[in-house]
Structures are given as C-alpha cells and as structure tokens.
C-alpha cells in the first residue's frame, strides 16, 4: 500500500522506538527515525531559544524537555523539506487506528502544494468547519480555535519551510508554536474523526516546572501581552477562514 513517508521522533534503538516501529509495521507502514533531542546545557544556552522573551511574555521558562521536543520537531521539518514530500510526523507514543490508513494518501493529495498541516491528534477538540470530505467520510476540518498537540500530524514541504522560517528563534513550546499561525503562516487543519491515540504511559518527557511568583506589575504586563497575542491570532484565524472559503 502506498502511503506518505512516516517520520518517527524517537531514540534510535530505544524501547519506545521498538514499540512504535512494531505498531507501524503491523499496519503496513514503513518509517524512518528523526532522533529525539536531549538538552545537555542550561536552557538559556540553547541557540535560538529566547529565554528572556519567554520570561517577559509568560513569566517562566521552557523546560529542557520542551526545548528538546521543539528542536526534535525542527529536525523532522528539515527532513521533510530535504525530501520534498508530504510526510507524516509522529512522536513515538502515537498509535494509529487501522481505519486511518486508507485515508493517508487522500489527505496528502488534498493538501499537496499548500502551506498546510493536518493535525491527526488533538489535545483539544474545538468547534470546526468542514473543508474537504474525503473518500470513506473522513474529513479535513478547520478548527475555530487552537487544538494543541504535536503527537501526530501530516505536513507539506511548503508548511515545513514556513514553520522553520518562523522558528529560527523561539520561545513557545512546539504545540503552542504550531497553533500560532500568525507567526509562521501555515494553516492547521484537523483530521476528523480522530483516529490516533496517545499512549504516553503517564510519563511525560518534557519535565516538570516551577513557576516563580510574579509581582502585580509583571502580572498586568503579562496579561496585556497575552491579550495582544490573542487578538493577533484571532484576526489571522479569521483571515484563514476567508481564504479557505469557510466564512459565510
């Protein structure tokens, strides 16, 4: 069965990689690895990570695990650009339902040549508008608010280029960055019904954080900046709805 290339973000030779590979092979899918990234320095020393801006915007930094996750996805995007093919990117705890497999090629064909990402697993399930109905009733829908998660998604080379360009410097976690479409310009669609599950075994690899106490003045500044970001993102989302022919 023909399918888009599958890239799994994982530790080569590790248990999670072995489980992911076995799962995909059982579905008839071949895959390649994009190695996971583990930050060995302090977070502030990581090239491209804007720790100062993160503190100004939110009052606390990214964990080293979150930074490593972002860098691992960037490496996978670079692989998509090099190969010039619509590809599927999976974290190694993503598990695909066999009913999704026949839809992978039609999804890829629907977004080929466009600056689009199709999120196959979402942390949230916001209201949406249908953009395309594919064979078998599977839909590509446009969420009306952010969905979250980078566990499983299909990405075009055009959208990978935009994500890379917008992330030369970064301060958001990778799932938050993907939803900040005003920052990179790629449109994020969702696959519906969702046919991917997240088997994280209850163990997060991004690490825990301690949020420092903020003065009232800094809290006010943070909320003002958050409001500005929300307005900018909402305006961009409205523009995308018009471009997709869904605002009527």
| pTM: predicted TM-score of the whole model, two decimal places | 0.92
- Res 208: pLDDT: 58
What ranges do the domains of the chain cover? 6-243
CATH entry, 6-243, from 3.55.50, 1.20.120, 3.90.550, 1.20.58: 3.90.550
Residues 6+ apart with CB under 8 A from 186: 115, 116, 117, 158, 159, 162, 163
In this predicted structure, what is the pLDDT of residue 11?
A: 96
Q: Is residue 146 classed as helix, strand or coil in its secondary structure?
A: coil
How do the pLDDT tens digits run along the chain, 248 residues long? 578 999 999 999 999 999 999 999 999 999 999 999 999 999 999 999 999 999 988 889 999 999 999 999 999 999 999 999 999 999 999 999 999 999 999 999 999 999 999 999 999 999 999 999 999 999 999 999 999 999 999 999 999 999 999 999 999 999 999 999 999 999 999 999 999 999 876 455 555 566 777 777 777 777 887 888 889 888 999 999 999 999 87
């Amino acid at each position: 069965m023909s399918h888009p290339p599958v890239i799994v973000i994982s530790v080569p030779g590790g248990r999670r990689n072995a489980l992911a590979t076995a799962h995909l092979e059982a579905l008839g899918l071949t895959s390649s690895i994009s190695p996971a990234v583990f930050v060995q320095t302090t977070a502030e020393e990581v090239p491209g990570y804007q720790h100062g801006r993160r503190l100004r915007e939110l009052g606390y930094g990214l964990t080293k695990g979150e930074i490593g996750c972002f860098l691992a996805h960037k490496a996978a995007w670079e692989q998509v650009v090099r190969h010039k093919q619509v590809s599927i990117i999976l974290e190694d705890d993503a598990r695909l339902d066999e009913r999704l497999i026949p839809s992978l090629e039609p999804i890829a064909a629907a977004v080929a040549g466009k600056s689009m990402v199709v999120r196959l697993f979402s942390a949230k399930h916001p209201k949406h508008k249908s953009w395309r109905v594919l064979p078998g009733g599977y839909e590509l829908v446009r969420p009306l608010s952010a969905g979250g998660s980078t566990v499983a998604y299909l990405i075009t080379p055009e959208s990978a280029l935009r994500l890379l360009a917008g992330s030369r410097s970064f301060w958001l976690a990778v799932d938050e960055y993907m939803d900040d479409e005003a920052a990179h310009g790629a449109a994020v669609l969702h696959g519906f019904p969702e046919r991917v599950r997240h088997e994280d075994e209850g163990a997060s690899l991004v690490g825990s954080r301690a949020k420092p106490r903020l003065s009232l003045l800094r809290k006010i500044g943070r909320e003002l900046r958050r409001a500005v970001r929300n307005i900018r993102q909402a305006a961009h989302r409205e523009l995308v709805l018009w471009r997709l022919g869904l605002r009527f």
